Structure 1
Amino acid sequence: MRFLREEMTRQKTQALTRLQERDDEIEKLRRQITSKHVASSTEVELETRLRSLTENLIQKQTNIESLSTQNKSLAVQLERAQVQIEQLEGCAPRPERAPGPADGDAPRLRPPAFLAETPWDGSVARRVKRAYSTLDACSVRMGVFLKRYPIARIFVLGYMCLLHLWVMIVLFTYTPEIHGDDFHRPSSHPLP
């Protein structure tokens, strides 16, 4: 009887340890399944985000391509219109009129009327008008360059500040030579 009790106790403890091991195994499997489920849900979420971002990127690239195509076609139309305007201006001189509301940006693109070359201008007047046009074109290019590159604006501003500072230093520290009444300037040519 005692032997049977010890055997039953031993079997009971073995069954309990096996049960505990199985419970630990089941818990590990549950954790793995949960982590896989969480990982798969985050993967699904990441895939949907990636898919939506890809679709947005494709849509934006399509928009950029269509806008660049429109820009190029408008640039070609503008060039054609400018050529036609130049041809019309070259063929028939027309009297200048004050810019109206229909002109829009046109007055800014054309030089003032008094600086446009005419067949009745003399050679000096033509040179002056060409020089003005050249200076105007250079200043417009410089303005576009400074507008496009902000670091160049900073360098130009810094240069101007340093130049003004240097001029102020020279003006405030320079003292002209002061000579008394008894000073006679030596002449290189003696008087007869």
Structure 2
Amino acid sequence: MKNIIIKITLSVLLLSFFSCAKKVYFNEQELEKFNVYERGDALVFKNINTKQIDTSIIISKDITYDWQLFANSKYKTPIAILKYSNKTLPGVSVENQDDMIAMSKSKPTSERIYSVSYLKSHFLFKEDITLQSEDLCLIDKSFDNVYKLPYDKKNTRGRNKFNNNPEFLYWDVDYGIIKYITFNGDIWERINW
């Protein structure tokens, strides 16, 4: 009987310890960029010069919570992850998905942090990047609310930049990625809507 009481007491203490962490939530404004895409969406790009086609498909869209037991945080950190696969790029297939958007927020009052990855290049989505207008020549379409994201040199994740990896990513507020330019100067524009 004594062992049962000790086990119940320990269980209650552990449950109360783990439930002390407060969940932090993304607000509607923070989820705008994440919610541009839905599972199953296809992004079809065409190279301006070679006319080669490249397709990426959104495989999953998920918000999870991370909380480390011994970290100095009383908050469960929300992490929004959008994964994609690419039909033509080796290594980014359905079997080996890659993160397209990874977004986290450590405290209720903290700034939101967006990390955007595409075709093995990484970009930080800073809110202070200026919006601009952008014209796509392949489909004769103009956009007025586009962020130009430069390659994040600090976050290479052990990967080297290759000539066919994006150096600049163009992100429209309503449509997400609309264009990218590789390190070797190839320009890829999105052709499906």
How would you bin the TM-score normalised by the shorter chain? under 0.3
Structure number having the greater helix percentage: 1
Structure number having the greater strand percentage: 2
More RCO (CA 8 Å, sep 6+) = 2
Q: TM-score, normalised by structure 2?
A: 0.24
